[in-house]
Amino acid sequence: MTDDPVLSPQSLREFFRDLLQRALENQRAQVQPFTELYLVNLLHEFLLSEALYVQADDGTWQQKPLAFLLKEALEEAGPSRVHLLRRLGDTSLFVSGFFPDSLARRSSLVDVDYYIAMGGRAYDAVGVLGGHRDLWAELSSRFRLLVDLLNEVSERTQASTNAGLVRLYERWKKTGSERLASLLVRQGVTLSLKGFVQ
């Protein structure tokens, strides 16, 4: 018996790189190689709950609201501000790209567009303050495309389970997305507005 893990960090990165490249091909989109690498690393990093959630005083894990992340960033200076703005951008991108349905279900004024606006502005500020302007400019200016790419990566991971297929089907019924319809058909789902057939 070996001590090798079933999924190593490198194999997870390759898994996400493959899904992202498929999404890029499917959407006929292009991003700079360093942006593609950034997205793959972001997906890998957010596998850890600590990257998205913070532990509250009562011991529960909660997602910190974007406005609080922005407030913390504005209260800092130098590298600390850049780090917190980057976290704001990363959190906005991951949540809006991977969990858009959870934003739609929330009974508040916060929606995907809010996350996109906050994330794009945060990445723009990181570029101004922290250098590497090309990377941050692409992340900022193409934030909506990056969200769409991560939506597709999320959909492809969900398509591997029955519960995920049901969620994708429900989203297809609400949105009429051709991309979702194609993915569902490739998974053997017969599309009907009356019911779910596999």
- Cα dist. 84→2, 10, 63, 133 in Å? 40, 27, 15, 17
Residue 38's CB: how many other CB atoms inside 10 A?
19
How much is the pLDDT for 2? 46
Please choose, from the candidates 21, 42, 148, the residue with its C-alpha nearest in 3D space to the C-alpha of residue 94.
Answer: 42
- Give the pLDDT of residue 23: 94
- Model pLDDT, residue 196: 47
> Which portions of the chain are predicted below pLDDT 70?
1-10, 48-51, 53-56, 61, 104-109, 159-165, 167-168, 171, 175, 183, 187-188, 192-198
Report the pLDDT value the prediction gives residue 187, as an integer from 0 to 100.
67
End-to-end CA, the chain: 38
Confidence at residue 163, expressed as pLDDT on a 0 to 100 scale: 62
Q: In the chain, what's the furthest Cα-to-Cα distance?
A: 56
For residues 130 and 156, the answer to whether their CB atoms sit within 8 Å is: no
Residue 156 tokens, joined? 């492809």
Quote the pTM value.
Answer: 0.76
pLDDT score for 10: 65
pLDDT of residue 1: 43
Contact 147/93 with Cβ under 8 angstroms?
Answer: yes
91's tokens? 């959190």
C-alpha 119 chain-centroid distance? 11
Q: Could you state, in order of their start, the residue ranges of all structural domains in the chain?
A: 9-54+61-158, 161-198
